Amino acid sequence: MRIVLGVGGGIAAYKVASLLRLFTEAGHDVTVIPTEAASRFVGVATWEALSGNPVTNSVFDDVDQVKHVRLGHEADLIVVAPATADLLARAATGQANDLLTNTLLMASGPVLFAPAMHTEMWQHAATQANVETLRSRGVTVLEPASGRLTGSDSGPGRLPEPEAIFEAAMALAHGLQAVAPLSPSVNVTAGGTSTGPLFPLAGRTVTISAGGTREPLDPVRFLGNRSSGKQGVALAAAARDAGATVRLVAAHMEVPAPAGVELIAVETALQLREVMLAAAAESDVVIMAAAVADFRPAEVSGSKIKKRDDTADPVITLIRNPDILHELVAVRDAAGSSQLVVGFAAETGDEQGDVLSYAEAKLKRKGCDLLVVNHVGADKVFGQDNNSVVILSRAGSEPQSAAGSKQDVAAIVIDRIGSELSRVFPRT
């Protein structure tokens, strides 16, 4: 998405650097337009370095590019933070005395203001009237947060936290699609192009498990596996970018969770089961991308198991963990809901069968709607940046192949989930 981030002249301008980071990490192209006053708080060089785009606040820079017209026209979303009393007044009265206010007058997409000022200024009749005017024109003006302000005063007037502004901005961008569908965009993926909607999962809640469980043996040892969590994290980011509210249930991962998703950390298969069953009850889509240990030590020693010369070497007895995916499907079926359940399968072929025949048997056994099949080898899948999968469907459609980076594969899987959902319960 192309985002214009207008920065007003308030002390909270420094917090907007984190907001800018959230936008860029989510893959958006951000042009920052600070007001002249904002440049007294945070320098232009900071915005240029963090956004990777040139920054100016003058309509007289790069006149040949007619920036004040182009930026407003081309932006998919304009976010102004902190929106000072002065900026709200200038926007409400349609002034065009710097690049930011010019851009606001040229805006053709959604606009969001995140105000920050002293409580008296926020509550002043003039500011409230300006807010009212802007809202009546369809502009979103967030309520400021309450708390300690710059001086000794406190009350409503604090800039909402960057994560809250980020979420509101994404919701606004996605909500726009729900109200008036955007023209179909072309999502380019490694598997080719698709012409689905820009935010196919807008309004959906998606729960994704990722990483590898660890089954404790004693306070220092565990049984684990090679899963890095990269594919699950890529799925979470792709689902978020597709407009979903995303919950990432993370067992051990080697990569950080993406911004803008709710993270719930777990360690063992039993903990993962409990969290997934609870989260699934509120989800439209459940994706089991975690590598779940099939077995756990029957006994967990409360103290470190010591090696001793006078006793035999320890023997570890393993017991079965529950099959979480199978249980999620059973709960869904018992509730008669149209939730979409997606499994992953790490497969190897052998003399008795090839990867696909094992995968088809697993799809039947697990009962999920889609099964994303990885071919696992010594140097394949775990910890790697690339992946190659086949998506099998319970409905029996042709297997779909996807290959590329784990992000490419995630985009294709999420795209497929979007089309399955619109088939199962289309938007009205």
Interaction site with ligand CTP (CB under 6 A):
269, 288, 290, 292, 294, 321, 323-325, 343-346
| E strand intervals along 87-141 | 111-115, 140-141
Task: Compute φ and ψ for 5, nearest 5 degrees.
Answer: -110, 105
Return all residues near 188 (Cβ < 8 A) that are at least 6 apart: none
Q: Mind spelling out the 3-state secondary structure of 134-171?
A: HHHCCCEECCCEEEECCCCCEEEEECCCHHHHHHHHHH
Report in angstroms how near the CB of residue 325 gets to ligand CTP at its nearest.
3
DSSP state letter for 10: S
Q: Decide whether 22 or 372 has the Cβ nearer to ligand CTP.
A: 372
Residue-wise burial string across 171-203, b where 16 or more C-beta atoms lie within 10 A, e elsewhere: bbbbbbbeeeeeeeeebebbbeebebbbbbbbe
Dist. CA 285–CA 222, nearest whole Å: 31
- In angstroms, the CA 46 to CA 71 distance is 20
Q: Which residues are catalytic?
A: 225
Min separation Cβ 327 and ligand CTP, Å: 8
- Of 42 and 286, which has the nearer Cβ to ligand CTP? 286
Provide, rounded to whole angstroms, the least separation between the CB of residue 182 and ligand CTP. 33
Looking at the Cβ atoms of 157 and 343, the one nearer to ligand CTP is 343
Distances (CA, A) of 163 to 29, 118, 120: 18, 22, 26
Which residue, 141 or 217, is less far from ligand CTP as judged by CB?
Answer: 217
Q: How far is the CB of 363 from ligand CTP (least distance, A)?
A: 10
- CB of 81 vs ligand CTP, minimal distance in Å: 39
Nearer to ligand CTP, 223 or 346 (CB): 346
Cα distances (Å, whole numbers) of residue 405 to 22, 48, 206, 235? 22, 29, 22, 12
